[in-house]
Amino acid sequence: MASSNEETGAKPFSWGRTIALAFAFALHGFAFLVLLAPAGPPKAPQAKKEQITQVSFIEPPPPPPPPPPPPPTPPKQPPPKIIKQVIPPPQPPPPAPPPPVTEQTTNPTPAPPPAPPAPPAPPTDITASQDISYNSRLQPRYPPQAIRQRHEGVVTLLILVGVDGAPKDIKVEKSSGYRELDRAAIEAARRWRFNPEIKNGQKVEGYVRVPVNFNLSQL
């Protein structure tokens, strides 16, 4: 066999060369197919989106208020009139009037009205007496206003005592000089009891004088 190949001049069969050629053909065929294939899938036509435009209505602004009317013009006053004062000439003083003539009246002068009667004087005969044992428990209350204002004084009361020993009439014979002290003495005397006057073995009404002393040192 070897001798026959050498005689014809042909090269001997080689598996390596055959595989290399087959690989080369396969590579070229694959490259050719790659060139024929498209680079990417065809893009589908995109659907056009509907463009929706929103319209919002804006109300126009209100018209501006009308301007205020101009103030009325004050009426024009006329210019003041200049009045010239005319000074009269000095006049002489009037003559003195004559002295009045006094006429002697014959009508008698009326008598003056009678004077009002004088108030009755307090009785000098004081026969009723004060019940000290009873009245010592009913001392007059010192007014708070007099305490604040530091008022002191002595009130002399003239009291008409009834047959039951209760006061029937109370008068201020001599004031302390302060009204609130006088009222406090009268209020206390209304609750007092007295020993009535006794005449012919019977109780009768009579007057009694009672001094009421208001002294801040006794509080």
- Report d(CA 83, CA 131) in Å as an integer: 93
Q: Which residues of 100-118 are buried (b: 16+ CB within 10 A; e: fewer)?
A: eeeeeeeeeeeeeeeeeee
pLDDT in tens, 104-118: 555 555 566 666 666
- How many residues are there in the chain? 219
- Report d(CA 22, CA 42) in Å as an integer: 34
The mean pLDDT value of the chain amounts to 75
Res. 189: pLDDT tops 60: yes
Contact 208, 129 (CB under 8 A): yes
pLDDT in tens, 19-49: 888 888 888 777 777 777 655 555 555 545 5
Structural tokens at position 29 = 């065929």
Could you tell me the pLDDT band of residue 1, with boundaries at 50, 70 and 90?
A: very low
Q: Residue 123: its pLDDT value, please? A: 54
Closest residue by Cα to residue 140 from 219, 61, 33, 28: 219
Contacts of 189 (CB under 8 A, 6+ apart): 157, 159, 167, 170, 210, 212
Could you tell me the pLDDT band of residue 2, with boundaries at 50, 70 and 90?
A: very low
Instruction: Name which of 63-77, 84-98, 99-113, 146-160 the model is least confident about.
Output: 99-113
Could you tell me the pLDDT band of residue 73, with boundaries at 50, 70 and 90?
A: confident
Q: What is the mean pLDDT of residues 81-99?
A: 67
Instruction: Name which of 94-108, 160-174, 204-218 the model is least confident about.
Output: 94-108
Contact 124, 183 (CB under 8 A): no
